[in-house]
Structure formats: structure tokens, C-alpha cells
């Protein structure tokens, strides 16, 4: 006797009549492992990435940080991205841009905001990037988030030997060796000082256009130059970046002159320089030989000379605060409190730490230059040097500095300045060497 087919013999009847079994609870550990594996191992071309249950790949928008499945079945206690341990969240954030992590994620939820506000998070992130002692001089209030942003941008710019950089050579403007450069207004304007005793103003927004459009103004002429001859040569050896916000400090031979020059007040297009320049406040003879480098802030002026001395002048007390006798003489300095980075005539870098205006030598480095270091620019996450060995070097400011890019030039390089997405070097071959990155 044949029995009629039952529900167990008919798959359709099974689907239509039977009660569905309850789905097992998802394993949070399996979700986390699948998510991290998906982040660390990008899918092969043409293949879709494997999906973990109830957890979606994060997208660019903040809303994508929430699991898509949660919107389908909003069950209390359902595991999601924010249920992951902080260590895994930090691992995920490590693959996101530092600016996005700092400025966007805190707006998503309180959990991410608290995670991002912790400076330990940023310290670990920075140390993971550089894998070396950093910073060289320990600071209690070191700005770790800003340092991470600068470090990652610097490493991205100069990856693969700086292939992403646009290069320009500005050769029409000076008729003698260029000794110093200064970037203004976020790297859109540049001042160059030369042994022809002229200062030129360049509009770097016009890079790639006709040379006459880039060179805005020659602030001096051969007959009536910007800076006149003084005790030594009268050449503009250094243009401190602090001139943008502080009363002017200019080295003339063996003297230091204090004026009221403000370079940042030059708007585009610039106004003609009045015949009567700013009044000189005072002049101090602090060295027995030529002054080669200057840095300053609102309290101190630091100068170096061929007499192998480093002098710290207290502007408020109007007196010398410290005088250091060195084994070599310093040709360039870069100061960001409390770190003073310097380059000497032997091709070495020296780092001084400041405390209440007094400086102490903490480290010396050989970064590969075979001759005197003529230019140095240091910031939280970047370090640049130039030398008479005809090289321009890009470093990470760790202990010791790590060189990530070297560019050779046909002539000596006398100075360096970097601001925003622009780096400019002064050449003994009468040109400005410019590298620009896309913002």
C-alpha cells in the first residue's frame, strides 16, 4: 500500500508548513576576526570581499560605521562595530587618515570621541609609524595628534623617493648666489635673498606660468639694493621665519640689528617699499666674527657665528642670557620650542633642548651629508636639510633621523624652507628649487 507523499518527502511542503528553527546567536569573536581579516587583507581584484554576519564594511560616511543588519532587525544587545574591544577599534582606525580620525570620528558617537581624545592613542599611532625614539626632546605637553597628522602627511608626500612632488626651477630673478628663502602665507608667497644684495618676492600660486608672472617684485636693484653694504659683505645671509610675527632681526656682519619689519604684512599685489625703511631700534655686537644664523621668539634671540659660539639674547632684559662655546660653527638653525635643530660646517646635525631660555646640547647626528649643512627646517613631523655637497635630504625627525628621500643638484644648496605643501631650496646656481604637493 502506497502512502501519499508527506511533507518530509516534498521540499516545498517542508518550507511552507514547518516551523523555522531559531537562528543561532552570532559569535562576537568570529565577527571581530572576520572584520579585522577583511580590513588587513584587501580582496583580490574582481572578487567581492567576504562578509561577516551582521557586520558591514565601513564606508566613508559616518552612518556606514553602524552595522547594516541592525537596521533590519534592531535587537537589543546585538553585537556591532562599537562592541569590539578598543584594541580592535584602534587597529581599524590605523588604516584611516589621521585627519579623518581626529576631526570626523568624534562626531559619530561618544565611544569614538572618547577613544580619539586619548593622547595615548595618538602616541601609540605615531610610534607605530616611525618605529624609533620620537620626539628627540621629551615634552610634557607634546601635541601628539598634530604630530601624527604631520608625520603621516610627510611620509605620504615623500614615499617612493618623492615621486608625487611637482618640481619647478625658478632661474630668472637673481644674478648671484641665493643664500636664503622664506615662505609666507601658507606657502603661496616666497622671499629670496641673494648675494646680489636684492630680495625678490615670488608668487608661487603662478608656478607653471610665465616666469614674469611668478616673480612679482624685486625689492632692490643693483644701484639701490634692498640691504646696503656693511662691515663684512652686507649680504642677506638669513631671513628668520619669525619675522612674520615679530619685530625684525637682521644679521649684518658681526652685528645684530633689531627693527620693526613685518614680512607677513605684504599683501598680493605688494605695495612699493617706502624710501625710508623701518627705523632700527638698536644694534648689538654679540660675536667676534660673522653672524651666520638667527632664530627668535617673543623672548629670546638665538644667534650663531663663525667664532664658534651660540648666543642667547634676552629681549626683555636686553642682555645676553647664555653663551655656548662649540667645537664647530653653526650655519643654520630651526627652532620650535623646546627643540633647536642646527647644522654645522662639518656636515653634522645638533639638537639643543631649551629650558627657560637656556640651551643644552642633547644629541648630534650624521645624516649623510659630506660637507657643511647650509639649511635646516624642522617641524613636528618633518625634517629637511641642504648642504654644499649639492644634496637636498628629507628626513623623519626621530632619534636618529631617518632619511627617506635624497635629491641631487648641479650646484651647492644654501638654504631651505617648507610650509604647507611647498618646499623651496636656495641654490648657488642662481635659482630657486621648488617642490609642490597637491593638497
The strand pairing partners of 170, in sequence order, are 432
pLDDT of residue 368: 94
Please, what are the averages of pLDDT over each run of 10 residues along the chain (439 residues)?
Answer: 52 50 64 62 51 42 39 47 86 91 90 88 92 92 94 94 91 89 93 90 90 81 48 44 42 49 37 55 87 91 95 92 95 94 96 90 96 96 96 96 95 94 93 89
The strand pairing partners of 323, in sequence order, are 311
DSSP state of 63: G
Do the Cβ atoms of 385 and 373 come closer than 8 Å? yes
3.50.50.60, 2.130.10.10, 2.60.40.10, 3.40.50.2020: which CATH number matches 166-436?
A: 2.130.10.10
pLDDT of residue 73: 35
Q: Give the whole-angstrom CA distance, residue 300 versus residue 314.
A: 5
Cβ-in-10-Å burial (0-12, 13-18, 19+) of 46 comes to exposed
In this structure, the number of other CB atoms found within 10 A of the CB of residue 286 comes to 18
**Stated pTM of the model:** 0.73
Q: E strands along 127-279, which residues?
A: 166-170, 178-184, 189-194, 199-203, 215-218, 249-252, 255-258
Chain centre to alpha carbon of residue 261: 27
Q: Which of 146, 164, 144, 145 is nearest to 155 (CA)?
A: 164
Please, how many CA atoms are within 13 Å of residue 325, restricted to the half-sphere of its CB? Answer: 1
Amino acid at each position: 500500500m502506497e502512502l501519499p507523499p508527506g511533507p518530509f518527502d516534498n521540499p516545498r511542503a517542508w518550507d511552507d508548513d514547518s516551523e523555522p528553527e531559531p537562528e543561532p546567536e552570532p559569535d562576537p569573536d568570529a565577527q571581530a576576526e572576520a572584520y579585522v581579516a577583511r580590513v588587513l587583507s584587501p580582496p583580490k581584484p574582481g572578487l567581492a570581499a567576504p562578509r561577516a554576519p551582521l557586520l558591514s564594511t565601513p564606508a566613508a560616511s559616518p552612518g556606514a560605521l553602524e552595522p547594516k543588519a541592525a537596521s533590519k532587525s534592531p535587537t537589543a544587545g546585538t553585537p556591532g562595530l562599537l562592541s569590539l574591544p578598543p584594541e580592535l577599534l584602534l587597529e581599524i582606525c590605523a588604516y584611516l587618515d589621521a585627519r579623518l580620525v581626529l576631526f570626523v570620528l568624534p562626531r559619530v558617537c561618544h565611544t569614538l570621541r572618547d577613544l580619539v581624545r586619548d593622547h595615548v592613542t595618538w602616541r601609540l599611532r605615531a610610534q607605530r609609524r616611525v618605529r624609533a625614539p620620537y620626539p628627540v626632546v621629551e615634552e610634557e605637553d607634546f601635541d601628539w595628534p598634530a604630530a601624527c597628522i604631520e608625520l603621516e602627511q610627510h611620509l605620504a608626500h615623500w614615499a617612493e623617493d618623492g615621486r608625487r612632488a611637482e618640481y619647478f626651477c625658478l632661474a630668472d630673478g637673481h644674478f648671484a648666489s641665493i643664500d636664503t628663502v622664506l615662505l609666507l602665507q601658507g606657502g603661496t608667497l616666497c622671499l629670496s635673498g641673494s648675494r646680489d644684495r636684492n630680495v625678490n618676492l615670488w608668487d608661487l600660486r603662478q608656478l607653471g606660468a610665465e616666469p614674469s608672472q611668478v616673480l612679482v617684485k624685486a625689492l632692490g636693484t643693483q644701484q639701490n639694493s634692498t640691504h646696503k653694504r656693511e662691515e663684512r659683505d652686507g649680504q642677506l645671509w638669513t631671513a628668520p621665519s619669525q619675522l612674520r610675527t615679530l619685530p625684525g632681526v637682521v644679521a649684518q656682519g658681526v652685528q645684530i640689528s633689531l627693527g620693526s619689519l613685518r614680512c607677513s604684512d605684504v599683501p598680493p599685489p605688494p605695495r612699493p617699499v617706502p624710501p625710508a625703511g623701518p627705523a632700527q631700534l638698536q644694534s648689538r655686537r654679540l660675536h667676534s666674527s660673522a653672524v651666520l644664523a638667527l632664530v627668535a621668539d617673543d623672548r629670546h634671540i638665538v644667534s650663531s657665528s663663525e667664532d664658534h659660539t651660540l648666543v642667547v639674547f634676552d629681549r626683555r632684559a636686553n642682555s645676553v642670557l647664555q653663551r655656548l662655546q662649540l667645537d664647530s660653527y653653526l650655519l643654520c638653525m630651526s627652532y620650535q620650542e623646546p627643540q633647536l635643530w642646527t647644522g654645522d660646517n662639518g656636515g653634522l646635525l645638533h639638537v639643543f633642548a631649551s629650558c627657560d631660555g637656556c640651551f643644552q646640547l642633547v644629541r648630534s647626528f650624521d645624516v649623510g651629508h659630506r660637507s657643511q649643512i647650509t639649511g635646516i627646517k624642522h617641524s613636528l613631523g618633518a625634517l629637511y636639510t641642504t648642504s654644499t655637497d649639492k644634496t637636498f635630504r628629507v628626513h623623519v625627525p626621530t632619534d636618529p633621523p631617518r632619511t627617506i628621500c635624497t635629491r641631487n643638484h648641479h650646484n651647492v644648496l644654501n638654504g631651505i624652507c617648507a610650509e604647507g605643501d611647498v618646499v623651496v631650496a636656495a641654490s648657488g646656481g642662481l635659482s630657486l628649487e621648488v617642490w609642490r604637493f597637491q593638497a
